[in-house]
Amino acid sequence: MQAATSSFVRRSHTLVILLLASLLLSGCGINNIPRLDEEAKAAWAQVENQYQRRADLIPNLVSTVKGFAAQEQETLTAVIEARSKATSMQVDASILDNPEKLQQFEAAQAKLSGALSRLMMVQERYPELKSNQNFLALQSQLEGTENRISVARRDFILAVGRYNTEIRTFPGKIWHSMMYSELKERETFKATAPKAEEAPQVTF
């Protein structure tokens, strides 16, 4: 009976120690790195989502412009080709571990932004296009999407910044070396043009 009681007490002490240890560890930031990693991935998913939203608008936009300005073939072709290149890249959260692919993706999206800007200028030469209701609706949607892209990129940059800071500072640096060494620093977007952090101004 005494042996059974002693064994029960030992097990109880072990359980209490394990519970206390888990509480202490959970309160000292051991879970911060995977949590921040997931936040960065979620922020990236929003960037992808907004770029896809823009890509989905482009076919209707090109068709509408073509109906009024078919002679602007070079500009229309540039948009179509830039969209094709941007959407042909297979991207998911794994791109965050590949700086080269991330830069290629960013370059493709920047090229599409440039082609779209040139397409938007076409409407100045065609008053009937400028007043077309379908075109005006697409204009509004594109402006909203460009703003969403800007916000999603900003949120991604901030999320990556929090993650990178955590794995490089105390106590996150210790947990990183002990438990999460497979998680590397993340690349983020880099401004490649003046005021690149601002949403493009789409003027109609």
Instruction: Tell me which residue of 91, 106, 93 sits closest to 190, measured CA to CA.
Output: 106
Longest dimension (CA), the chain: 97
CB 189 within 8 A of CB 182: no
Could you read off the pLDDT of 165-190 as tens digits, one per residue?
999 998 898 889 888 999 999 988 87
Q: What Å distances lie between residue 122 and 62, 66, 147, CA to CA?
A: 11, 10, 21
Q: Is omega for the bond preceding 171 within 30 degrees of 0, making it cis?
A: yes
Task: Count Cα atoms within 13 angstroms, Cβ side, for 52.
Answer: 11
Cα 37 to Cα 46: distance, rounded to the nearest angstrom:
15
Give the residue-averaged pLDDT of 1-27.
55
Could you read off the pLDDT of 15-54 as tens digits, one per residue?
555 554 444 444 567 899 999 999 999 999 999 999 999 9
**What confidence tier does 193 reach under pLDDT thresholds 50, 70, 90?**
very low
Strands (E), 85-141: none
Could you read off the pLDDT of 99-139 as tens digits, one per residue?
999 999 999 999 999 999 999 999 889 999 989 999 999 99
Q: 3-state class of 46 per DSSP?
A: helix
Q: 3-state class of 189 per DSSP?
A: coil
Angle at 202 between CA 198 and CA 204, to 5 degrees: 160
**At residue 196, does pLDDT exceed 60?**
no
- What's the whole-model pTM score? 0.79
**At residue 84, does pLDDT exceed 70?**
yes
133 against 10, higher pLDDT: 133
Cα 106 to Cα 99: distance, rounded to the nearest angstrom:
10
Q: What Å distances lie between residue 163 and 94, 155, 177, 179, 190, CA to CA?
A: 16, 12, 14, 15, 17
